């Protein structure tokens, strides 16, 4: 995390000058981050999400849902709360912005007296926070519960299953002892009467307490349709980090991309490939290249980020079992039209905004989905867990892409993937997908979402000038 934060501060320095960068300081907190706390036995870590969402698997995953919203022990929670209080007291900020899963800071800011302006910033969508405000309980019969891979709107024959999953989730949340233990420990060590605030209290289960506002990295035109957008929500649109031009980040790659239209495949940081998984992808692209020979994309290229599973060896070459992958795509690899790499130095967004990417093959992560939207690029999505399934549904609902692993989830099969690729790039609806993707990009310039969030924070600053004279924000 420190390394990533340092890179972000350096980018701010490069973009805005050293004065801006010098005003950004990192203050370490004790304890485990939300992610690290979640990745422990008994909590719903990534392994429990990234499995086929069958009924037994879904019940197993939903039964440990409290570990997502409150993954710390009561003792850990209080320790982090106190350290948040320490940092806040040292800085005396005019405005505090809190990530939606960081429950100790949510709880501290909500209970702080006298009240000081604060706001929640969530990298999530409207759906996560708006369902409890919709009339007629559509979370039961219209909107698929997360990680279920159920379609939208929920098909009639799957409504009972969706209701069942919601009941399992509610039982897990309301019978969990985590919350009670945490409240008791807070009362004992922090004082009586403090209200525990987790992401559940931000709209997931009920509207948040008065005064809490939640900024989301999404907007109504790129989410599922809703009857009500709650007043406590601030839909900012896609919040993406600026990225340097590919010509700056990787000049050689920029030249290569300029040789022809390119498919960019990147399934995120948590997905690795063994030979079997890579084989299915390679055969899918074999079919695509063959189909493209007689089309306007006869010079199509592919750059595929393919980190390899540790069990398959750490070589980046194509010897041994990996030779099969090169054999499948040998012609295009020999022509340097296919590059398969374990790492790409440039930011994904640098590639997407190059003007040469004609399709983003991604896992349906929020960043991947929204960056492709801002760049006007159709998508082929291979979701494997949690809300990634929702983003695949959104791509199809918006007419900007295809979910190409619906039957093979959470992995993929060559025939289904090749069909999705060909539909997006060569099919009768491909030009319409490009047009719709470009229309969305015009409505969502890459800087618009972060500017909207900044404006919201500045509005709060405008109402609290106590420290501005000292340059403390």
Give the per-residue pLDDT at 39.
84
Q: What is the mean pLDDT of residues 396-412?
A: 98
- pLDDT tops 50 at residue 470: no
Give the per-residue pLDDT at 472.
46
pTM comes to: 0.94
Query: What are the pLDDT digits (tens) for 47-64?
Result: 667 889 999 999 998 998
Q: Which residues have a Cβ under 8 Å from the Cβ of 458 and sit 6 or more positions away?
A: none
Confidence band, pLDDT 50/70/90 cuts, at residue 468: very low
Rounded distance, CA 423 to CA 410, Å? 21
Give the residues across from 341 on adjacent strands.
305
What region, left, alpha or beta, does residue 358 occupy, with left being phi > 0 and alpha being psi -120 to 50 degrees?
A: alpha
- Delimit the domains of the chain by residue range: 30-235, 246-443
Q: Which residues have a Cβ under 8 Å from the Cβ of 417 and sit 6 or more positions away?
A: 280, 281, 284, 380, 382, 404, 405
Confidence band, pLDDT 50/70/90 cuts, at residue 466: very low
Query: What are the pLDDT digits (tens) for 287-336?
Result: 999 999 999 999 999 999 999 988 766 567 899 999 999 999 999 999 99
Mean pLDDT, all residues of the chain = 93
How far lies 264's CA from each of 30, 257, 360, in Å? 39, 10, 5
Give the per-residue pLDDT at 469.
36
Q: What is the CATH number of domain 246-443?
A: 3.40.50.2000
Rounded distance, CA 468 to CA 463, Å? 11
Query: What are the pLDDT digits (tens) for 438-452?
Result: 999 999 999 999 999
How far lies 431's CA from each of 221, 359, 401, in Å? 20, 12, 11
Q: What is the mean pLDDT of residues 106-119?
A: 96
Residue with more model confidence, 405 or 68: 405
Q: What percent of the chain has a predicted confidence (pLDDT) above 90?
A: 84
Q: Which residues have a Cβ under 8 Å from the Cβ of 155 and sit 6 or more positions away?
A: none
- Number of other CB atoms surrounding residue 46 within 10 Å: 14
- The pair of three-digit structure tokens given for residue 44, joined into one six-digit string: 């719903």
Confidence band, pLDDT 50/70/90 cuts, at residue 464: low
Give the per-residue pLDDT at 6.
72
Q: Which residues have a Cβ under 8 Å from the Cβ of 71 and sit 6 or more positions away?
A: 32, 34, 37, 38, 40, 43
Give the per-residue pLDDT at 313.
62
Query: What are the pLDDT digits (tens) for 69-100?
Result: 999 999 999 999 999 999 999 999 999 999 99
Give the per-residue pLDDT at 270.
86
Residue 375: name the closest of 419, 438, 314, 418 by CA: 438
Tally of residues, the chain: 473
Instruction: Check residue 447 and report its DSSP letter.
Output: T
Residue 238: name the closest of 458, 439, 451, 15 by CA: 451
Query: What are the pLDDT digits (tens) for 213-245?
Result: 999 999 999 999 999 999 999 999 999 999 999
Give the per-residue pLDDT at 25.
84
Give the per-residue pLDDT at 405.
98
Please tell me the least confidently modeled range out of 20-34, 130-144, 159-173, 371-385.
Answer: 20-34
Q: What is the mean pLDDT of residues 26-49?
A: 82
């Amino acid at each position: 995390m420190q390394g990533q934060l340092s890179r972000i501060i350096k980018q701010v320095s490069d973009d805005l000058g050293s004065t801006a960068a010098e005003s950004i300081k990192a203050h370490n907190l004790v304890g485990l981050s939300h992610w690290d706390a979640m990745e422990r036995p008994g909590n719903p870590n990534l392994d429990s999400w990234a499995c086929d969402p069958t009924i037994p698997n879904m019940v197993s995953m939903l039964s440990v849902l409290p570990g997502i919203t409150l993954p710390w022990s009561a003792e850990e929670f209080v320790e982090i709360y106190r350290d948040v209080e320490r940092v806040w007291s040292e800085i005396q900020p005019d405005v505090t912005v809190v990530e939606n899963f960081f429950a100790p800071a949510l709880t501290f800011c909500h209970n702080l007296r006298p009240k000081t302006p604060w706001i929640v910033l969530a990298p999530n969508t409207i759906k996560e926070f708006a369902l409890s405000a919709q009339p007629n309980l559509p979370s039961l019969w219209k909107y698929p519960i997360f990680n279920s891979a159920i379609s939208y709107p929920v098909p009639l024959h799957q409504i009972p299953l969706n209701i069942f999953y919601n009941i399992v989730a509610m039982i897990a949340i309301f019978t969990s002892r985590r919350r009670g233990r945490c409240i008791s420990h807070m009362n004992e060590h922090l004082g009586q009467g403090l209200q525990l605030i987790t992401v559940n209290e931000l709209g997931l289960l009920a509207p948040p307490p008065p005064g809490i506002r939640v900024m989301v990295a999404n907007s109504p035109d790129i989410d599922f349709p809703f009857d009500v957008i709650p007043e406590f929500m601030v839909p900012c649109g896609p919040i993406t980090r600026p990225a340097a031009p590919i010509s700056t980040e990787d000049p050689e790659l920029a030249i290569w991309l300029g040789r022809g239209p390119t498919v960019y495949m990147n399934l995120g940081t948590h997905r690795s490939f063994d030979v079997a998984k890579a084989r299915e992808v390679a055969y899918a692209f074999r079919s695509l290249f063959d189909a493209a020979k007689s089309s306007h994309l006869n010079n199509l290229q592919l750059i595929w980020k393919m980190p390899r599973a540790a069990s398959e060896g750490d070589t980046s070459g194509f010897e041994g079992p990996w030779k099969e992958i090169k054999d499948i795509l040998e012609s295009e690899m020999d022509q340097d039209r296919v590059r398969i790499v374990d790492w790409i130095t440039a930011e994904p967004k640098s590639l997407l905004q190059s003007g040469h990417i004609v399709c983003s093959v991604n896992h349906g992560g929020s960043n991947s989905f929204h960056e492709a939207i801002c760049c006007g690029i159709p998508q082929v999505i291979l979701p494997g867990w949690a809300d990634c399934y929702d983003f695949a549904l959104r791509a199809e609902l918006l007419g900007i892409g295809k979910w190409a692993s619906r039957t093979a989830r959470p992995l993929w099969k060559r025939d289904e993937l090749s069909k999705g690729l060909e539909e997006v790039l060569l099919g009768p609806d491909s030009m319409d997908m490009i047009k719709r993707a470009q229309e969305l990009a015009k409505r969502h310039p890459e800087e618009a979402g972060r500017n909207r969030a900044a404006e919201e924070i500045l509005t709060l600053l405008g109402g609290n000038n106590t420290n501005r004279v000292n340059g403390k924000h």
